[in-house]
Amino acid sequence: MTTFPVDDTLPHLIISYPTCSHCGEEVEYDGDGGCSCNRCLIYWDRMDEDAMPYPADEGLSVCEFVPYDGDREGYDNTSTHTRWSFSTLGACILPSGHQSIHMCPYEATAETIEMSEK
């Protein structure tokens, strides 16, 4: 019979690899301090949360997929007394050929609403 010590040391820190904020996939390090997302086709010149994103290939055009968003109804959040409304979705801003979901900008507006007491 062999006995092994278990849980006899304090936990250690695990440093995870950076991920793309849009698709959640790990980015690929380029060896020169930058990294890229192969799904969104975006490049950052340094691994830093404040790094500016660029298309991974300057020759790629913008995707420009325009979604059909139909009636984009807002909603009232009664717990925060806020009415939310949304603009029409714009064309996708990712480079053409990306394999992640489209990234279509829009505006969200919040306004305070009066709630009637019952």
pLDDT tens digit sequence for 7-33 = 777 878 777 889 999 999 999 999 999
C-alpha span between 84 and 47 (Å, rounded): 35
Q: Tell me the two tokens of residue 118.
A: 């019952």
Give the pLDDT confidence of 91-109 residue by residue, as tens digits: 999 999 999 999 999 888 8
Whole-model pTM?
0.74
17 forms beta bridges with none
Distance CA 66, CA 96 (A): 12
